[in-house]
């Protein structure tokens, strides 16, 4: 008897997130075009009491996802891949609209935001192809039997995404989840709710009702979703503080937690490297998107031999980024206050200011490109996550010292190493505890990168094939032919 595969009619009864229902507004009823002041200023870590409208939307999303997941898992892989390609086309067709929303809500420069949208569409297409090519290993078993591995979906995936690259990250979470056969509930950052709602409608347009739901609202919404037993896996890309609280929720519910890597990126400049080229690369790594990307290099280790020339060229780069249109504002005034606190603490401890470091007059959340230098003890704040266009330059006496200092602190997802010495490049690749080591380039945090990163509670997230594995459960199948009696030598079944 052949299996009966689900059709779209089987998903009937679930509220469709792309329609005019509670999935389309946040708790304040803010219009999608403008967002809302309350949602726009809340961080991922804040969670208070759950308001009644939010509780209703959380319950509706989880009910719909749970119902849809039982059918989506039985949908043929080719149909899942087709849906992902349709979503990618929808995202790409709305690229300018999404980039504009991103720019208005988070301050990201339009061209950078547009690049993030296109990167997200590419991630969706990548997972569409990866899903079709996926297979488990065959194992050596009994002569008359078969041993092989299959991958099953986990069920309902909760995606908690940040504001720094919201489209690309959400696309990667949706792409991996759907390719693996899971239903998805997305909770975008409260700093970009209108973008989250618009993106959610695009996602939902190519799949049956309930397969993808988007719920905006306060930080309490994310907490309530994470604490619900109907969630089987959580993908979190946000602050380390929020991730730590999610670890407790996942332990209580048994959900599989996939979390972002803590810390910013690091940058190492070896001797015999051209100082001008190194400074331009460091400025790109530290100041791009106002230093708010998780790949941003907040700590730069420079060999003493070229430190003076590098700092002079780096200061010139900071002036160029200040005077041009290459640096947008921080996401909000609270973010600027947090960044300036780290800078002020370093200056109080004796760090030397090379560029920036002062809040400009006037309204808004702009913060200038800032360069500090001094002994490592004065720059301790830069060992934590710093989400702004600031860089601490630390002089070191040898390449080995640079590697040791960088590896001692959280390195985030990536490291950049500029060197003319192939042995030093190999040492960096072997010793730096990061997900991606870029030699003589600039780490950009692309959605295709995929590596384990730093040890921590919960699986570290990447946006390549490994995320597909994290959102699946492997199962080993042992299959033998039915026999009346065990065959002896030479007996044919």
CA distances from 415 to 60, 239, 451 (A): 42, 19, 13
Backbone angles phi, psi at 107, to 5 degrees: 85, 5
The verdict on pTM exceeding 0.95 is: no
Q: Which of 44-58, 195-209, 279-293, 418-432 has the lowest mean pLDDT?
A: 44-58
How far apart are the C-alpha atoms of 202 and 6, rounded to whole Å? Answer: 22
Q: How confident is the model at residue 483 (pLDDT cuts 50, 70, 90)?
A: low
- Sheet of 390-396: strands edge to edge? 352-355, 370-373, 390-396, 297-303, 265-269, 414-418, 436-439
Across 175-185, average pLDDT: 97
Q: Which residue has the higher pLDDT, 288 or 410?
A: 288
Q: Alpha helix locations (H) across 180-325?
A: 193-204, 219-226, 240-253, 275-287, 307-323
How far apart are the C-alpha atoms of 234 and 245, rounded to whole Å? Answer: 12
Question: Is pLDDT above 70 for 5?
Answer: no
DSSP, res 486: -
Please count the other Cβ atoms lying within 10 Å of the Cβ belonging to residue 386: 24
Across 25-35, average pLDDT: 35
At residue 16, the pLDDT reads: 39
Q: How confident is the model at residue 346 (pLDDT cuts 50, 70, 90)?
A: very high
Q: Give residue for tokens 């109907």.
A: 230
Question: Is pLDDT above 80 for 280?
Answer: yes
DSSP, res 145: -
The predicted-structure confidence for 117-153, as pLDDT tens digits, reads as follows: 999 999 999 999 999 888 777 777 667 778 888 899 9
Across 7-31, average pLDDT: 40
Most distant CA pair in the chain, distance = 91
Question: Is pLDDT above 50 for 12?
Answer: no
Across 351-355, average pLDDT: 96
Question: Is pLDDT above 50 for 15?
Answer: no
Q: How confident is the model at residue 164 (pLDDT cuts 50, 70, 90)?
A: confident
At residue 79, the pLDDT reads: 96
Across 470-490, average pLDDT: 77
CA distances from 460 to 154, 256, 420 (A): 17, 11, 31
Work out the angle at residue 68's Cα, subtended by the Cα atoms of residues 67 and 71, and round it to the nearest 5 degrees: 105
């Amino acid at each position: 008897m052949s299996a009966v595969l689900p059709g779209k009619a089987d998903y009937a009864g679930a509220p469709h997130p792309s329609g005019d229902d509670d999935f389309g507004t946040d708790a304040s009823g803010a219009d999608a075009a403008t967002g809302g002041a309350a949602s726009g200023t809340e961080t991922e870590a804040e969670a208070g009491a759950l308001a009644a409208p939010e509780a209703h939307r959380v319950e509706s999303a989880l009910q719909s996802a749970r119902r849809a997941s039982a059918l989506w898992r039985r949908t043929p892989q080719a149909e899942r891949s087709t849906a992902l390609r349709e979503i990618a086309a929808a995202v790409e067709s709305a690229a300018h609209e999404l980039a504009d929303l991103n720019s208005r809500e988070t301050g990201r420069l339009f061209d950078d935001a547009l690049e993030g949208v296109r990167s997200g569409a590419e991630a969706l297409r990548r997972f569409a192809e990866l899903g079709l090519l996926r297979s488990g290993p065959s194992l050596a078993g009994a002569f008359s039997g078969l041993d092989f591995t299959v991958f099953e979906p986990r069920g309902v995936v909760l995606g908690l995404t940040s504001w720094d690259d919201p489209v690309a990250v959400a696309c990667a979470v949706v792409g991996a989840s759907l390719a693996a056969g899971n239903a998805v509930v997305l909770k975008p950052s409260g700093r970009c709710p209108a973008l989250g709602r618009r993106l959610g409608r695009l996602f939902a347009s190519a799949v049956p009702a309930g397969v993808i739901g988007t719920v905006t609202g306060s930080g309490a919404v994310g907490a309530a979703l994470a604490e619900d037993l109907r969630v089987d896996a959580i993908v979190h890309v946000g602050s380390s503080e929020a991730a730590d609280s999610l670890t407790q929720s996942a332990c209580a519910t048994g959900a599989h937690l996939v979390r972002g890597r803590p810390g910013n990126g690091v940058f190492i400049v070896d001797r015999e490297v051209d100082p001008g080229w190194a400074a331009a690369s460091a400025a790109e790594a530290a100041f791009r998107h106002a230093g708010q990307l998780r790949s941003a290099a907040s700590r730069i280790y420079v060999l003493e031999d070229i430190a003076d020339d590098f700092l002079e060229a780096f200061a010139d780069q900071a002036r160029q980024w200040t005077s041009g249109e290459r640096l947008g504002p921080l996401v909000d005034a609270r973010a600027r206050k947090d960044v300036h606190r780290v800078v002020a603490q370093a200056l109080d401890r004796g760090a030397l200011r090379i560029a920036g470091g002062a809040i400009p007059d006037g309204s808004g959340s702009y913060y200038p490109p800032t360069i500090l230098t001094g002994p490592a003890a004065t720059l301790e704040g830069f060992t934590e996550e710093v989400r702004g266009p600031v860089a601490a330059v630390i002089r070191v006496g040898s390449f080995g010292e640079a590697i040791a200092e960088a590896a001692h602190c959280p390195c985030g997802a990536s490291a950049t190493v500029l060197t003319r010495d192939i042995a030093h490049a190999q040492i960096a690749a072997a010793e730096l505890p990061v997900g991606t080591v870029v030699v003589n380039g600039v780490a950009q945090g692309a959605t295709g990168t995929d590596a384990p990163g730093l040890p921590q509670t919960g699986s570290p997230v990447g946006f390549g094939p490994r995320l597909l594995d994290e959102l699946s459960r492997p199962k080993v199948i042992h299959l033998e032919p039915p026999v009346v009696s065990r065959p002896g030598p030479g007996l044919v079944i």
